[in-house]
Amino acid sequence: DQQVKQNSPSLSVQEGRISILNCDYTNSMFDYFLWYKKYPAEGPTFLISISSIKDKNEDGRFTVFLNKSAKHLSLHIVPSQPGDSAVYFCAARNENNNDMRFGAGTRLTVKP
C-alpha cells in the first residue's frame, strides 16, 4: 500500500538551474509533509516540511509547495548546486499517528 509516491526515480539538472522534485499521496488524513535528503552511506537528513494548512514553505534555496486538492507536493531547489546531488525522499504523516510514510526517493544529479 504505497500511500506516498515519487514517480521519478531520477532527475538530472544543470548547475544553476531549477530542480523540481514531485510527490503524490493518497491518504487525505496526512497533515504534515516532509522532505529528506540522503547521501550514500548516510542516514536521511531532514530538509524542509510543510503543514497541510499552508500551500508554500520556503527556506533559502528550498521551497516546498502543497496542492491538497491534487494530493501533490513538490520541492523546488533554486539555484541547484552540485552539492545538492543526493536522493530525496518525500514523507507524510498524520499528527495523531506515529507512522511516517516515505516515498521511494528521487535521485537528483546536478551537473557542473
Partner 1 sequence: NAGVTQTPKFRILKIGQSMTLQCAQDMNHNYMYWYRQDPGMGLKLIYYSVGAGITDKGEVPNGYNVSRSTTEDFPLRLELAAPSQTSVYFCASSYRTGTGMGYTFGSGTRLTVV
User: How far, in Å, CA of 38 to CA of 43, rounded?
Assistant: 6
Kindly state whether residue 23 participates in binding partner 1, applying the rule CB under 8 A: no
Q: Considering the rule CB under 8 A, would residue 95 count as an interface residue with partner 1?
A: yes
Site membership for partner 1, residue 11 (CB under 8 A): no
Residue appearing with cell numbers 548547475:
15
Nearer to partner 1, 4 or 77 (CB): 4
CB of 62 to partner 1, least distance (A): 13
Q: How far apart are CA 50 and CA 107, in angstroms?
A: 21
Is 21 near partner 1 (CB under 8 A)? Answer: no
Interacting residue with partner 1 among 44, 66, 85, 86 (CB under 8 A):
44
Three cell numbers at 23?
510527490
DSSP at 52: T
Which parts of 60-89 interact with partner 1 (CB under 8 A)?
89
Partnered with residue 73 across adjacent β-strands are: 23, 66
